[in-house]
């Protein structure tokens, strides 16, 4: 794949990733509520999901994707259900100071990874980009194995960087909340954002 072609893909993909959606809303809400603990497996779920969609698009498997629509729908609902569960946890959580939250039992990395994966596999924005827009940016009929690996690496770097930037920004904003009242309001607000993201994922 040419350098120019790869740069065109990176630019288009970065714009698609950076635009707010239910996945970014869920990521930011979780970091605001719980900090950066567990954010790595959460982001890894997004990365693997995008790589799966890229593999489907690159292999010209649009028909298979339509055949497995029921599976993707089930995954989407599972992700939405877990987001609602996280929202409930936030709404019912005690208003602990940020320092005391470090002593709280961490969420399982596998659950966070699967949540990120489910959000990606069920996110219409991701599906549209890889199934409809990707072929307009990359000539998939001439894509070699090396070219596919280059794009996969670009996906990992771009997605990890942008989601990491969102997470770090949310973590910095989180430090401003110190009082119990502010933390309680933060928990309620981020829980509402997660619930909204769950509804958006389930209804699209």
The C-alpha angle with vertex 19 and arms to 126 and 113, in degrees rounded to 5, equals 55
Residues 106 and 158: their CA atoms lie apart, in Å, by 27
Mean pLDDT of the chain: 76
Residues 116 and 204: their CA atoms lie apart, in Å, by 17
Name the phi and psi angles at 143, rounded to 5: -75, 120
| Region of poorest pLDDT, from 13-27, 47-61, 168-182 | 168-182
- Give the CA dihedral 84, 124, 110, 163, nearest 10 degrees: -100
Q: Which residues contact 75 (CB under 8 A, 6 or more apart)?
A: 117, 118, 121, 122
Most confident range (mean pLDDT) of 6-15, 52-61, 80-89 is: 6-15
Q: Is the pLDDT of residue 8 over 60?
A: yes
Predicted local confidence at residue 33, as pLDDT: 77
Predicted local confidence at residue 67, as pLDDT: 59
Predicted local confidence at residue 155, as pLDDT: 94
Predicted local confidence at residue 160, as pLDDT: 95
Predicted local confidence at residue 3, as pLDDT: 81
Q: Which residues contact 83 (CB under 8 A, 6 or more apart)?
A: 26, 115, 119, 194, 195, 197, 198, 201
Residue 77 near residue 188 (C-beta atoms within 8 A): no
């Amino acid at each position: 794949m040419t350098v120019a072609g790869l740069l065109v893909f990176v630019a288009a993909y970065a714009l698609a990733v950076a635009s707010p959606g239910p996945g970014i809303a869920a990521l930011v809400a979780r970091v605001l509520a719980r900090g950066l603990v567990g954010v790595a497996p959460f982001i890894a779920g997004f990365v693997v999901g995008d790589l799966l969609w890229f593999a489907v698009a690159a292999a010209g498997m649009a028909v298979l994707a339509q055949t497995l629509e029921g599976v993707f729908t089930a995954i989407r609902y599972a992700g939405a259900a877990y987001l609602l569960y996280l929202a409930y946890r936030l709404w019912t959580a005690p208003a602990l100071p940020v320092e005391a939250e470090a002593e709280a039992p961490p969420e399982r990395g596998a659950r966070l990874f699967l949540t990120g994966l489910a959000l990606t596999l069920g996110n219409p924005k991701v599906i549209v980009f890889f199934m409809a827009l990707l072929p307009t940016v990359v000539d998939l009929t001439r894509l070699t194995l090396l070219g596919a690996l280059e794009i996969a690496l670009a996906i990992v770097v771009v997605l990890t960087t942008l989601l990491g930037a969102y997470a770090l920004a949310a973590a910095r904003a989180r430090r401003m909340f110190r009082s119990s009242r502010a933390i309680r309001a933060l928990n309620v607000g981020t829980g509402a954002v997660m619930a909204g993201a769950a509804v958006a994922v389930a209804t699209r």
